[in-house]
Amino acid sequence: MTPKHLLLAIILFCVCAASRAELVKVFENIRGTVVYAESSSISQNGDLRRVIEIQSYREPGPRGMLSMKLIKEYNCTKETSQIISYSMYTERMATGSLIGQVNTPGPVDKLTQNPGGVGGWRYACGK
């Protein structure tokens, strides 16, 4: 490898490492479900916060699903969450083959109906 190629490789490595989103664990349960929020994905519009979350599962679900990547929206004052869209994957941490996607927003749920969403809400809303 020439010095020029080595320098290019180092620059590309630094750019890729810097652009990697930081994942923050926001929830884990005894069944092995772990939820992470992408810290760089949080956007704000009044009381609403939108964030990308990754859910990884210990055991595969329907069609071999081991993880999901979701866009979720939290209302910080009303304490609600809504799944805007999600993708399902065959491997943990939203890797492997894409099984399917849903781009239709789901219902708005109170956090009391979905205790697993409280961690994402706390993180996105700074509570």
| pLDDT surpassing 50 at residue 119 | yes
CATH superfamily placement of domain 22-125:
Surface-adhesin protein E (2.40.128.710)
Is the predicted pLDDT of residue 33 greater than 90, yes or no? yes
Structure tokens at 118: 């409280």
Confidence label for 114 from pLDDT (cuts 50, 70 and 90) = confident
Task: Give the pLDDT confidence score for residue 115 in this predicted structure.
Answer: 75
pLDDT of residue 8: 44
The per-residue pLDDT for 91 is 97
- What are the sequence ranges of the domains in the chain? 22-125
